[in-house]
Amino acid sequence: MGRVFEAIRRASTTQESEPAKQRSSHNSEHRTGTADRGLPSAKQVEEQLFSGSSILSTDNAVHSSASTAHTADAPGGSALPGGMASRAVGATLGAAGATRTAGFVSYDVSAARVEPHLIAISQPRSAYCEQFRSLRTRILQAGERLQMRAFVITSSGVGEGKTLTALNLAWLLAQSEGVRALIIDSDLRQPCATDYLGIDAPVGLSEVLGGQISLQEGIVRLDPAGLYLLPGGRARDDVAELLSGPTFARVITEARRMFDYIIIDAPPLGIFTDANVLISRADAALLVVRAGKTRFSQIDKLLEQLPRERVLGVILNRTEDQPDDSSYYYQQRYSQRDRGLPAQNGGFPKEESEEEVAIVS
């Protein structure tokens, strides 16, 4: 076990550029769970950590601003029925300068407004972004070979970088030719995708599950990538009950008909049961861990708990060691959002704004 912790420590400082090793086999069947692609064992994860990979780095500047909005065509020819938006939703859209006609509301996402660690937007030509493109390639391959379309991105705990990973991956998927991609912010205790993107879309999954709006009314389009987003909407505490209910099952079923790939940003696996429910609705899961923080024994325990046929891989985020106050911040942010107060730290969760990120898949 000492070698494992040493590997994590070394991974947080190395500058090697050798791509991470891929697992030797990918045998699986379409969402049946009967075939075994091989759950990454403690030994395999340790080998991945020792193999080294490129570091994705960005500066620490944080910017946030609401973007302009306009309408765009729905994917696959889908259209919103005119006039079905609720009065509250209509008022919100009017304030944002947007209207609903025969398409989704669209937001122009600019590199000047997003969280800088969204490198797919802020640094698309960087070597760091290439690591996310490598991850995108694996997702596309899984989609073609294994008929996997819905992927859950979760983490062992807070501060691992799962939301940034999900957004970067989804943005790049949407840029792939002929791909319609949707990202769902299902971390309803702390919905923050819109904060990172610098847009003001106050309704989303929470309102869809509550019956206030339809799925089509909750989805927005993010240009210029053409990525579709179902924001989290209002923060709430009854998340496990909502996600395990029939309404969310219908949401995923309908989303599968509308989009080619679905990325689901899930709550931390090591804290809540929500992620387990989401994984049961999806085709595969990616576990995000952070070097210098996540204990290897915790990774091993979580991998043992996950369905063997649905674990696609582990993503290692490398960061500088920092005082671990993220759990307090996470709970504090819940309280602020419930009371209608803005989040601290410039609107971006502190635990996600890290110096360095690396991918081991």
Lowest mean pLDDT among 142-146, 249-253, 302-306: 302-306
The count of structural domains within the chain is 1
Quick one: which of 344, 347, 305, 308 has its CA closest to 328? 344
Per-residue pLDDT, 75: 52
Q: In this structure, is residue 265 part of a structural domain?
A: yes
Q: Would 20 be classed as within a structural domain? A: no
Integer Cα distance of 302 and 76 in angstroms: 37
Task: Work out the pLDDT band at 149, boundaries 50, 70, 90.
Answer: very high
Residues in the chain: 361
pLDDT of residue 106: 93
Residue 43 lies in a domain: no
Q: Which domain holds residue 67?
A: 49-358
User: CATH code at 138?
Assistant: 3.40.50.300
Which pLDDT band, with edges at 50, 70 and 90, does 158 fall under? confident
11 occurs within a structural domain: no
Q: Is the pLDDT of residue 340 over 60?
A: no
Q: Does residue 6 lie within any of the structural domains? A: no
- Distances from the Cα of 206 to the Cαs of 59, 166, 189, 337, 339, in angstroms? 33, 19, 10, 13, 16
pLDDT per residue as tens digits for the range 187-210: 999 999 999 999 999 999 999 999
Averaged pLDDT of the chain = 71
- Structure pTM? 0.67
Q: 39: pLDDT confidence band, cut at 50, 70 and 90?
A: very low
**Band of the pLDDT at 266, cuts 50, 70, 90?**
very high
Most confident stretch, 39-48, 263-272, 344-353: 263-272
Tokens of 13: 């400082």
| Within a domain: 233 | yes
3 domain residue, yes or no: no
> What pLDDT was estimated at residue 307?
81
**Of the ranges 37-46, 79-88, 95-104, 234-243, which one carries the lowest mean pLDDT score?**
79-88
Instruction: Tell me whether residue 101 is in a domain.
Output: yes
